[in-house]
Structure 1
């Protein structure tokens, strides 16, 4: 156990170097203003579902630039009071999944909005990218911060909060954001760019301390960026500049809500040190769950129980 303790103590002291550009705040202020001026145009349709105690609905809202974003919108049936709500984001290459996987939250009285990120699941991607050479989301628009895929994704996620705040059945003061891997990264982005969430749960989040993560990872979406740069070394500085706007090292200090991280010390996709680097920069109330023998997976029963306890305590 001593070597594990030494590792964790080292991670607790790691402070990453900021790569923030001078126009970082102006870029995000402009993005948020542009997003707020676009019509949400949400549609809701009820779906039949075998579990009759739950109201299952399909939501489509207009994401950033008009891309239709699809989501499950789930409510405990016959709720008489305004509901706290959990906003879920999935991992890279995944989707919002089955309605059934959210039952543990619905039976406790939470509403759920589970979103398909653009280009995933049922959500399309209407954005135009001048650089889209690898066929994968992480490099779409990577030569221009205004075009970059994750700009669209982060703004789509903020618009999910916009949708929830239009719903009379939702308690807008009790919205939590939760996700793992890419979903964990989106969770951190929403918490940094929007002050409406009350809490954020980010398991093994991506887009953390990207220069270090590029060095330490062995699998995952950043390997696609690495492959792109291997073929185009002359674009390295340009790519790193774009990524700096989406790196949570440069967003972490904007997070004001209570935040819970989780990392696996054997994660080779989203390594623990970059996550700790972001965590160490957050000034809001925060906590970290560490799993010494886990990789890029937080599906253990003990972790699920800890997440249930955390959300029950703070939302």
Structure 2
């Protein structure tokens, strides 16, 4: 289809303007050091689950602060040796879902950690925010990079890798991180901030080329930033300064692992150009799946089947 080919060609040639602040990497080095200075305090409670071919645990661990991050920890029964591990991050406003959602992975011998992000599902948020008037996570603490919500979420997610690497049954050389939308943005950020994952799969990722995304989006979490700035026009520069530290555009050059990204060319929430702005900056081995007529979803049967094959071939 000529019009699709032309659209993709334009996107592949797009070069976004980097908005990284001078202290960007110092900020993240200090953030990681702070997070890892705290004990993980992991707790596992075994569950009696109807599918008897797996061992299932309620997992709780401390993330950036003392907030207990809740997750499923799912293992195939009768493990021999070390096994690869998949860590899943869900969408904005979602949750980790049912244990049964992950059976296509455990049946193949993968360990699974499915995380409820801070403030989502069963995970609370012990942090205090000086700015949280909009009722949405994306604006919590948005005037201060030190207290911004995404600083904590990214570190909570890195700590999930800390947990995986602490387990004697997990092969720490074969860890994959996987997410879509909110979870896709987390996946790219974690891949940039932590070199332990071997594979990162980010479907329609948010927090990508944020200035462009805010300009082009029609729906989704970043609309709350619009509303905040409508209410507080005096804070425009300050807000975009904060967001720059959490924009995958300014993080992705540090990604070392193999990456697969997907995009819907009709996506009104995570505009394709914003995703390509990040993708085009990634220097590690990478691939892009393009859905010309898809909006903000990747629930096609073909996509799921391709992911199964991709993980099996690369992990």
Which residue of 2 is the match for residue 109 of structure 1? 109
What's the offset of the Cα at 1:132? 1.0
TM-score, normalised to structure 1, is: 0.99
Q: What's the counterpart of residue 72 of structure 1?
A: 72
Tell me by how many angstroms 1:4 deviates.
0.6
CA distance in 2, matches of 1:14, 1:277: 6
- Residue in 2 aligned with 1:134? 134
2:159 maps to what in 1? 159
Residues in 1 aligned to 2:225 and 2:125: alpha-carbon distance in whole angstroms: 20
**Cα distance, 1:280 vs structure 2:** 0.4
Cα distance in structure 2, aligned partners of 1:101 and 1:32? 31
Asked if 1:44 corresponds to 2:44, the answer is: yes
The structural deviation recorded for 1:309 is 1.2
The residue number in structure 1 matching 2:206 is 206
> 1:79 deviation in Å?
1.2
Q: Hey, what does 2:121 align to over in structure 1?
A: 121
Deviation at 1:81, TM superposition (A): 1.8
Are residues 1:281 and 2:286 paired? no
Please tell me whether residue 17 in structure 1 is matched to residue 31 in structure 2: no
Q: Deviations over 1:228-281 (max 9, x none)?
A: 101111100000000000001100100000000000001000111110110000
Determine if the alignment matches structure 1 residue 60 to structure 2 residue 64. no
Runs in 1 of length 4+ with deviation above 6 angstroms?
A: none
Separation in 1 of the partners of 2:308 and 2:261?
Answer: 14
Partner residue, 2:33: 33
State the shift of 1:50 in Å. Answer: 0.7
The alpha-carbon deviation at position 305 of structure 1 amounts to 1.2
- Secondary structure, aligned partner of 2:243: helix
2-structure distance, mates of 1:81, 1:5: 47
Deviation at 1:131?
0.9
Structure 2, unpaired ranges of 5+: none
Three-state SS of the structure 1 residue aligned to 2:117 is: coil
C-alpha offsets along residues 189-248 of structure 1, whole Å, 9 cap, x if unaligned?
Answer: 110000000000000000000000001110000001101101111100000000000001
Q: Tell whether 2:253 aligns with 1:253.
A: yes
Separation in 2 of the partners of 1:252 and 1:23?
Answer: 16
SS in 1 for 2:249: helix
Residue 218 of structure 1 corresponds to which residue in structure 2? Answer: 218
Can you give the 5+ residue segments of structure 1 that lack an aligned partner in the other structure? Answer: none
Listed as ranges, the matches of 1:93-108 within 5 Å are 93-108=93-108
